[in-house]
Structure 1
Amino acid sequence: MKSFIPSTSRVVLLPALVVAVAVWLKGYVEAGDSFGAGVLGALAVLLQYVASGREEARRLPGVRYAPQVAGVGLLLLLGVAFGPLVWGAAPVTHYPRPGGVVTHLGTLEFHTSVLFDAGIFLVVMGFIVTAIDGLVAQSHRRG
């Protein structure tokens, strides 16, 4: 008899990632944050490791490219933090400036703090998934 857990974990993955993004975006309206969202997303991936094993989990693009995801997040963070220096502004200058036109998508306002939080989300999720993959690989070598 086959277990229902691997198929259930695959069904739960996408909704869990959607919830993680919702937690990230909710931080601009109420309590919510990108760090917690990155942890939630990584926990969804961890469920894939536990339920299906390393080989099956590494078939997911987000798992296979987790170090690159963390690297893109770090570049995004550095760009938001130090990009204003190129235009002669102080590091971590908020754009658009006060009184400037803010681009909206529904109720979400696009500004530098959204990009900064996206970078944090990518770094946290990419790092945790990379660490999980490394620990699982190490345990397979020992066992």
Structure 2
Amino acid sequence: MRPEVRRGDMTRLVARVLLLPTLVTAAAILVKGYAQPGDGFSAGVVASLGVLLQYMAFGEEEASRLLPLPPAGVLCFGGLLLALSIAAVPLLLGQPPLTHYPPPAEEPVHLGTLEIITAVAFDFGIFLLVFGFSVGVMRLISAAHGEEDAG
């Protein structure tokens, strides 16, 4: 006898299985990207797709319970503030904007194989901005869809 499989069970299973690999892939893209510093935009998009899959498979309430994320505005503002700070601080030091530290002649601090340079912090700010915006849009669409279903 074949056990009865409810509609949507396979989608929920795949969504749960893919969440962690999606977030790990986003982290890998963030720290290594296309050229050593990383790629915050692509990492934000990949992480957002993992969260979007949760929203599609489980709905807004269950996805919010599974992934207790801060408000989208906080993520966006924090990312924008970090990226703009990294871009503007060199101006205060008499350097061109987006001058990254340490300079090419100096050895950067290492955390394992990851070089701790200002480009990594800038990419992290871009990641937070993109991820926060995407999550905010998902929440708005999900809430509008929920209101439409209720009405």
TM-score when scaled to structure 2? Answer: 0.82
Match of 2:145 in 1: 139
How has the CA–CA distance of structure 1 residues 139 and 5 changed in structure 2, closer, same or farther, with 3 Å as cutoff? same
Q: Is 1:83 paired with 2:89?
A: yes
Q: Distance in 2 between matches of 1:46 and 1:9?
A: 9
Q: 1:107 offset after TM fit, Å?
A: 2.4
Q: Which residue of the partner structure matches residue 27 of structure 2?
A: 21
Structure 1: any 5+ residue segments left out of the alignment? none
Matched, 1:6 2:47: no
- Residue 117 of structure 1: aligned partner: 123
User: Could you tell me how far 1:106 is from its partner in structure 2?
Assistant: 2.6
Q: For the residues of structure 2 that align with 1:14 and 1:94, how far apart are their CA atoms? A: 32
In the TM superposition, what whole-angstrom CA distance separates every residue of 1:107-133 from its partner, at most 9, and x where no partner exists?
221111111111111111111111111
Deviation at 1:26, TM superposition (A): 2.4
C-alpha distance in structure 1 between counterparts of 2:13 and 2:77, whole Å: 31
C-alpha displacement at 1:46, in angstroms?
A: 0.4
C-alpha deviation, 1:21, in angstroms:
1.0
Q: What secondary structure is seen at the aligned counterpart in 2 of 1:20?
A: helix
Residue aligning to 1:38: 44
Q: Which amino acid aligns with 2:45?
A: V
Q: Distance in 2 between matches of 1:17 and 1:23?
A: 10
Provide the residue aligned with 1:103 in structure 2.
109
What's the offset of the Cα at 1:29?
4.8
Structure 2, gaps ≥5 residues long = none
Query: Taking structure 1 as the reference length, what is the TM-score of the superposition?
Result: 0.86
Question: Which residue in 2 is equivalent to 1:61?
Answer: 68
User: What displacement does 1:23 show?
Assistant: 1.7
Deviates more, 1:100-109 or 1:36-45: 100-109
> Quick check: 88-97 or 47-56, which moved more?
88-97
CA distances 1:10-48 after superposition (whole Å, capped 9, x unpaired): 232122100111122222657x62211111100000000
Q: Percent identity?
A: 48
Larger gyration radius, structure 1 or structure 2: 2
When the two structures are aligned, how many residues end up with a matched partner? 141
